[in-house]
Amino acid sequence: MWSADEIAELCYLHYRTRLPKQGKPDPDREWTSLAAVVKVESSTQREVLASPGNLQVTKEVVAMGTGTKCIGQNKMRKTGDILNDSHAEIVAKRSFQRYLLHQMWLAASHQQCSIFIPGTETGKWKLKPNTIFVFFSSHTPCGDASIIPISEPENQLSKPVTGDDAAGQSERRSNHDHLGPEDKRKSEKTASNHIIKRMKTDDDGYFSVIPEDLTVQQVSVKREDDTNPKSCECSADMQTANKETGLGRPKEVKLLQSDLRFEHSRQAIQEVQTNSKTKLVPCSAAISWSAVPEQPLDVTSDGFRQGTTKKRIGSHQSRSKICKVELFHTFQKLVTSISQEDLPDTLRMKTLETYWDYKEAALNYQEAWKVLRSQALLGWVKNATEYLHFT
């Protein structure tokens, strides 16, 4: 139906043509990582019967993110208005959430262009048939999926570490060198585990209006030459999460590898700058793009919109469109646009006020997340609830 290279090529084209220069790395001295979510729609059964042997598949990038940084714990805010993690995988995930919220608004407004149709339960929706989502990453996600031994035990044979190998190990370390010990502990498993969480739950509990599965079914990864070809599949957490957990989620997520290289990856920039003495550094900015009609693009730095001064931190203008409080407010607007009788029972409670209240009320999400933490993500580090009580 489609290949990993086709997905990668589509994402790289989108990056080149739909994202502006703002937020992209300076190719003379900077690099970044890229991640995206692609919607894949196949022909309906009726269309297949009408035209046998002519299966049409449409692919569209619906969310994209770039970035390599995360803030330290001392910069976290209880107001939910800062991006704690701006790694490409997380930016793409949150951009996808923004896209889904818009699609739910279309569904609630009875617009047929939405990806959702009414579900079997009152106030809930399900994904249209013949639609799946593919997650793409220009690199093996940081966390367990990218753990490559830097040194082997002396009694074991190992291949020499080449220049590319050393560069790859340095790249993975560079994302964490600016963090303190506690921040590193929280960051080290973040990205790959967030992908696993996305596979098995709706991730933030916003989507308590979707009963049926809405999960990433395929993951397409461009693994640079320095990585272990089986590292992502062999992640213990991934293996456990791919087993049946009784949540009604897919038993297994397919992992495919692309051979196309991202033009602004560290390896690609290094090859171009072989004779340069300039030190290569990760790009400080992160780009979020969502397939939404209003302000689809969002460029941030240090957790706030790029260009924000210290005096303006805390203002509405400083917020990223994908920070917790902005996504929460978008969700609240969606809920208030729907009549009470058309809402699911969990959203009819009068006591729901804070982000934490809504998250706790998402019972399906809470059940799925509890099972997943107990079976696969045993080492998940939870943020203190004081950071979730904003309105």
Report pLDDT for 163. 34
Report pLDDT for 334. 92
Report pLDDT for 320. 97
Residues 175 and 69 sit within 8 Å (Cβ to Cβ)? yes
Query: Environment class of residue 74 by beta-carbon count within 10 Å: exposed (0-12), middle (13-18) or buried (19+)?
Result: exposed
Rounded distance, CA 129 to CA 47, Å?
A: 13
Report pLDDT for 356. 93
SS3 category, 346: helix
Report pLDDT for 298. 95
Per-10-residue mean pLDDT for the chain, 391 residues long? 90 96 95 96 64 76 96 92 95 95 93 89 85 90 51 32 34 41 43 58 55 58 51 50 50 79 94 86 97 97 95 95 96 91 82 90 83 80 88 94
Rounded distance, CA 5 to CA 221, Å?
A: 9
Report pLDDT for 187. 42
Residues 96 and 37 sit within 8 Å (Cβ to Cβ)? yes
Rounded distance, CA 356 to CA 388, Å?
A: 5
Amino acid residing at 102: H
> Beta strand 57-66 with 285-290: parallel, antiparallel or unpaired?
antiparallel
Report pLDDT for 125. 87
DSSP state string for 6-20: HHHHHHHHHHHHHS-
- Residues tagged active-site: 89
Backbone angles phi, psi at 268, to 5 degrees: -65, -40
Rounded distance, CA 125 to CA 133, Å?
A: 17
Report pLDDT for 254. 77
Report pLDDT for 318. 97
Rounded distance, CA 249 to CA 242, Å?
A: 9
Residues 142 and 69 sit within 8 Å (Cβ to Cβ)? no
